[in-house]
Chain A
């Protein structure tokens, strides 16, 4: 299989404020990319813009999947086309059982032309598949009956996201700090799970600060974001360098991007106040 996700000159604004200022990125099916960068540099924004969040306004540039321009597509169309994002902070849907949600989602993603009200994947078949995926990811079977992300611990939420990824088997996955807020054992489990589910079976864009996640999923490409742009791209060694030495070199090498980053951070703080 060969699929390509291409981001060209992407500019994104949130509530009228420019965040991304011309991002270029190309990913092929089966590749693993690491996306790194200091806080506020626009990593999550890039992920959310690719996933189609309505509040992330694309002011210029394009996103295309296998040559098709999906810049204007709704989030559900993108999901059905094979785009997935594991969220840093997944949202709770009280009263909706995880299994019901996943059955609906998996049906739609596997049958992109499905009309509303048409049959879902047969219950028995779905349960069997869900059960085996949960065993594979060492998730307790009781999980399926719990309400989506409702009262989940940080670790449970992240594992639920990986389970969702496993059930939807997308062409491209963006993992937004899927290791954050987890203890060492949980990070290890999450890293191993991602490798098992995702490696070579999709394109992975891993947003992370941790080296554990990348140890299990060594990237072919590492991109460094600063001030809403990708300022540098390298291999696995770049990720190691940033992990060991931080972003000092990057900040000094790209003063314009650094200034933009500081400006965005300043705005964020102003909003937070």
Chain B
């Protein structure tokens, strides 16, 4: 068979993400995390006093909190990581203003091209800082704000202070505390009342240096009746030692608004991806998380929606693909706090080549959340005997008058499916790729076309070399 061609192609393809940029940082804090580093970051950013205090308090919380005892194995030496690396002095408003080698990086990743074709705005983060930002003029004219969170602290202090850390307090978990102490970059979005943004806003996160920690902080406020689709992509080159990505994302969906947050996470296989994402949805608002996890060494991520007022909806679509050396501990969390709220979780996972995927989910219906409905569907596909899949569904129902459904299935890749496709001329590798593509189809069809193409390509890459 054509293994030679396939493997040489795949090496070329993987290199699309696995390349290092020779980039001279304008500032690199020493390794480790302590009050001095936190003060230094705050100073570099010229932050107001309240933010510095917020950081220092969070640092104490970080030190006082134990490591999570569940999920995956986390073996991180917190003192062996760079917490802040400033790649350039200022953010570009055009790509020409971005240092050449960093611009080249994003060119290779196809960002400027995508921006021209179908995006409403872009933020590109390299290491700790957003190096490029754009927003279509007509949206800016309507009062839409799309900026990096650091600039937002300076330029929109009242708005930021009102919401920052209110959805995910520093005390939430150890990694949320760490992020709160050392955060840098991330997106700040405000969509004014009634403004509906047609094309997605995209952020792209790139880690380039070894032993780097990236701690972006994203805050999205969708005002009454407004709507936005935000897409993030993430990649990094492969190094021999581990890096850490630990983001915090907070979203507020006000009455009647709609927010969709799509992630295509394709970190290198040496990255710990420990992220806290949570949204609150007020009356008749809809929050959707579309969460695709393909990369990283270990991902622990459970996007949440708290439905606070009647008529709120929360939908989470989670797809995880765990290959050799990867553990995807992914899932979702829905909390029904008001009557007539509707939730849905669809989780699909694929494990291959000794990879491990877990679904970890919580559905909670608070007392008084009458007439609420929630449905959970989990499908796991295991491609070979070395791989593993686990399901940890937690359901807490404190009201009687509700409807909660849960279905779970685990299947080995079907011999009969393989034979059926092969009897139609597909090779073993093509057949298993096709079956896997079928499994992730519910995610792909929710993506804008360009991302769908990218997603299929990523799956193809993951599948290569899957059969002897």
* Chain A interfacial positions (CB closer than 8 Å to B): 51-55, 74-76, 78-80, 84-85, 87, 90-91, 93-96, 101, 104-105, 108-109, 115-117, 147, 164, 168
Contact A79 B423 (CB under 8 A): yes
Given contacts A96-B434, A115-B5, contact A79 B441 (CB under 8 A): no
Is B417 a contact of A93 with CB atoms below 8 Å? yes
Question: Do A79 and B438 form a contact, CB below 8 Å, given A93-B417, A104-B430, A116-B430?
Answer: no
**Which residues of chain B are near A116, meaning CB under 8 Å?**
2, 5-6, 427, 429-430
Report whether over half of chain B's contact residues are helix, strand or loop; otherwise say mixed: helix
The chain A residue with its CB closest to the CB of B420 is A91
Nearest residue (CB) in A for B434 is A96
- The residues of A that contact B438 with a CB separation of less than 8 Å are 93-96, 147
B13 nearest CB neighbor, chain A only: A117
Taking CB atoms, residues of chain B closer than 8 Å to A85 are 423
Q: How far is the CB of A166 from chain B (nearest CB, A)?
A: 13
Task: List chain B residues, Cβ under 8 A from A79.
Answer: 422-425
B371 within 8 A of A: no
**CA A117 to CA B439, docked complex, whole Å:** 20
- Can you name 25 A-B residue pairings with CB atoms under 8 Å? A53-B419, A53-B423, A54-B419, A55-B415, A74-B428, A75-B423, A76-B425, A79-B422, A79-B424, A80-B425, A85-B423, A87-B420, A91-B414, A93-B421, A93-B435, A93-B438, A94-B439, A104-B425, A104-B426, A109-B425, A115-B5, A116-B6, A117-B6, A164-B424, A168-B425
Q: How many residues of B contact A (CB 8 A)?
A: 30
* Number of A-B residue pairs with CB-CB distance less than 8 Å in the complex they form: 91
Measured between beta carbons, the chain A residues less than 8 angstroms from B439 are 94-95
**Residue among B5, B9, B423, B460 with the highest chain A CB neighbour number at 10 A:** B423
> When each residue 416-459 of chain B gets 1 if its CB lies under 8 Å from chain A and 0 otherwise, what string results?
11011111111111110011011111100000000000000000
Main secondary structure of the interface of A (DSSP, over half): mixed
Report how far A85 CA is from B431 CA in the complex, Å.
17
Q: Is the CB of B422 within 8 A of A75?
A: yes
Closest-CB distance, B421 to chain A (whole angstroms)? 7
Q: How far is the CA of A75 from the CA of B431 in the complex (A)?
A: 12
* Minimum CB–CB distance for A242 against chain B, Å: 28
Closest beta carbon of chain A to B409's beta carbon, Å:
11
Chain B residues whose CB sits within 8 angstroms of the CB of A76 once the complex forms: 422-423, 425-428, 431
Taken together as a complex, chains A and B put the C-alpha atoms of A258 and B369 apart, in Å, by 68
Distance (whole angstroms) from the CB of B346 to the closest CB of chain A: 12
Which residues B1-51 have CB closer than 8 A to chain A? 2, 5-6, 9
